[in-house]
Structure formats: structure tokens, C-alpha cells
Amino acid sequence: MSITCADLTKKYPHEWEQATVHPFLDQCADGSIQPQQFQTWLVQDYHFVTDFTRLLAKTLATAPVAHFDVLLSGLHALQDELNWFRVKAAERGLTLDVERQEACTRYCTWMQQWSEQAYAVQATAVWAIELAYNQGWQRPGPMKVPYAEFAERWGNTLFTEYVKQLEQQADEALAAASPDIQADAEAAFKEVALQEKSFWQMAFTQGA
């Protein structure tokens, strides 16, 4: 019997809660986050998204043709997102040419490993990462300026629908995968949850 993405969120509710609920996001919502904390997240997330783009590109390279449209739409959105990060950094007088912090480096290393695994593992990891963004920025509720536009980028209904499409494709891949590959996909999901928690914490501890 194959696992599904829904099975994973149900099996690991505590881990997923920690991946998508964090004081960093709560303080973005109420406006109390410190500039240094948010700036740390912004710069490090730019580097994360750069490597996530590589993961998604490699996922496309191994995907069935029927899955191309959704993945290509994701790559197009990431092109816009990387440019948007550059604009947001420039508005704040930040340079993006900085060393990656340990949490960012570790997460990007995991993405590199997933990019070399079977398509079902890649698809599951991509879905989990995007779901973490989607739910993480939605769960605190409406956010104050200037953080509202960040919540809108990943919490809007169109992005939610994209994540649902990724989930459907991951489920299709998992249904056709061997038990060993399904186990690898489950491990990837758990690792995404752990790395998301670590990434929020990295930013939160800066200047706190």
C-alpha cells in the first residue's frame, strides 16, 4: 500500500507544526520582529531559493511529461521570486553577497541530495517545501506592513492551489514507487520539517 502526502502530515503532526508555526512568523504578524532578524531571514532565504530552483529544475528533468506544466509554472514563478528578493534587499540597503549561515548551508545540502534521488522523492520534497512556505505564512493570520506582502506572496490562494497540484503529482509518483523509494520520500518529508524549523530559528536568534 502506497503512502500519500496527506499520510505524511498526519503521521508527523508535531514535526509539521514546528515547521510551520514559529515565533519568527508570529512576530512578523504583530510587527514586533526586529529588523536584524527579518533581514537575516531575507538574505539567507534568497540563497535557499537559489538552490531550491536547482532542485526544481532537476525534478523537472526526471518528471513524466504529464507533470511538466505544473513544474514549469513553478520555475517561472521562481524566476520572478529571485528578482523580487533582489528588489526587497535593495530597498533595505542589504547585500545578498554574504556567507550562508549553517542552517541555510545544511538545508541546501539536503536539497542537493534529494535532487539526485528518484522522482518520487524529489516530488515529495518539492511539495513539502512549498507547503511549509504556504502554511507558515498563512497560519499567523493577517500581517502588518511591511511584512504583509511576504505573507501574500506565499499565502495567497493561487499559491495554495499550486501546492495542491504539487501534492497530486507527488501522490501519483508515490503510488508508482517501490517501498524503498516511498521510505526515502517519507524521510525527505521529515527532514524538510526539521530544516524548516531550523531555518526559522536561525533568523529568529539574530539580533533578538
Structural domains of the chain, ranges and CATH numbers in brackets: 22-94+102-204 (1.20.910.10)
What Å distances lie between residue 47 and 71, 113, 184, CA to CA? 20, 17, 25
pLDDT of residue 1: 74
Q: What is the dihedral of CA 102, 193, 5, 148, to 10 degrees?
A: -90
Total-model pTM: 0.97
Cα dist. 142→9, 69, 130, 137, 147 in Å?
A: 24, 31, 19, 9, 9
Element (H, E) at 196: helix 179-204
Per-residue pLDDT of the chain (208 residues; tens, 9 = 90+): 789 999 999 999 999 999 999 999 999 999 999 999 999 999 999 999 999 999 999 999 999 999 999 999 999 999 999 999 999 999 999 999 999 999 999 999 999 999 999 999 999 999 999 999 999 999 999 998 999 999 999 999 999 999 999 999 999 999 999 999 999 999 999 999 999 999 999 999 985 5
Q: Is 112 helix (H, G, I), strand (E, B) or coil?
A: helix
Give CA angle at 100 (99, 105), nearest 5°: 145
DSSP label at residue 67: G
